[in-house]
Structure 1
Amino acid sequence: MFLDKQEFLVKDKKYTIRPAQVEDAAQLSEVRLQIDGETENMDREKGEGFINVIGFERLIEEDANHPRNLFLVAESHGRILGFSRCEGSHLKRSLHKVEFGVGVLKEYWGHGIGKNLLNESIAWAKSIGIQKIVLYVLEENQKAVALYEKLGFETEGVLKNDKLLSDGKFHHTFVMGNLLD
């Protein structure tokens, strides 16, 4: 379990990364909804797969009690700016890996929040013996792809015509993995 909060200062923006707490549920519901409406890089459109406060409370509690799950938030002055989750499995053949997902409010892009959420997740994964982190990213999201490659991820496959975006066209998704040392 990730225990320590970490503080960061990037481009004059000070923020903390810490484990999600049940008290974050209302803000997380709003932030996730906003993020989904700000970019097509997410799996959902705004309002799809909506998670209300009770749903986030349950998710936070479940993650806190699952040895291979990690739910982090980035916050500044009590405001949640972004979040990430690592989700593991109970299946024996998959105990060695977790799946990573991240979302950051658009107004805070460029402050290293996604990078630092991922770095903290990698450190946590290594500390508990996880051997692989997997993530999915749209091929067009080259800034994210470049970041993931810089942090040791490799493209392991392509899901062709995986997402139908607002341009009316299908787009490919990269499956990326990081075999942790």
Structure 2
Amino acid sequence: MIIVAQGYENKGLRYTVRSASPQDALQLSALRLKIDGETENLDRVQGEGFIGPEGFRSLIAADTASGTNLFLVAEIQDRLAGFARCEGSPLRRLAHQAEFGVGVLQEFWGYGIGRSLLEQSIAWADAISLEKLSLKVLERNDKAIRLYESLGFEVEGVLRRDKRLADGQFYSTIVMGRLRGDSAED
């Protein structure tokens, strides 16, 4: 699915959120690898589950052709700073929902890029009448949890001792969901 590009400015930083295109594949491969090395909030250790440029081209093409998938990028002067992806299901019993994931380069944390990617994803989900968006977030990622709650996501469950991080400790993953029409203002 393709969305109309939106421009944003926050704290003097201008960026655009738009649909990913095949020309983004090389940057996306490097971006994902770098983000995976900057935080333990994601599932992968840097280098795990590597997707090269050709893999990203295939993923972007499939998502663009799909009515239930969305692949967005945040761009700053021809440089990708983050991405988000919503993946729906071809199964009829699950076709009413999609799962959201996001990654933003650490140097651009605090500029609202993650929020903008999520808001665009929510607008897309509502526009195509998806009933539910879901996501998973590491229990210690308080800033992300507050963001998700501010946009209408609620805790649906906890996957206890779900991840072991570099400190050797286990951490839980929080499963959150947002139903269509739900928002923090309701």
Counterpart CA distance in 1 for 2:66 and 2:5 is: 19
Aligned pair 1:99/2:107, yes or no? no
How do 1:5-84 and structure 2 match up within 5 A? 5-84=5-84
| Uncovered stretches (5+) of structure 2, i.e. residues with no partner | 182-186
Q: Distance in 2 between matches of 1:148 and 1:4?
A: 23
Alignment pair present for 1:143 and 2:149: no
Identical pairs, percent: 56
TM-score, length of structure 1 as denominator length: 0.99
CA deviations 1:137-163 (Å, max 9, x no partner) are: 000000000000000000000000000
Conserved 8 A contact 1:2-1:124: no
- 4+ long deviations beyond 4 Å: none
The alpha carbon displacement at 1:180 in A equals 1.2
Helix, strand or coil at the partner of 2:44? coil
Unpaired runs of at least 5, structure 1: none
Report how many aligned residue pairs link the two structures.
181
Q: Secondary structure at the match of 1:41?
A: coil
- Aligned-residue CA RMSD (Å): 0.5
Alignment partner, residue 4 of structure 2: 4
> Match for 1:73: what amino acid?
V
Residues 13, 111 of structure 2: 8 Å contact kept: yes
The TM-score, its normalising length taken from structure 2, stands at 0.96
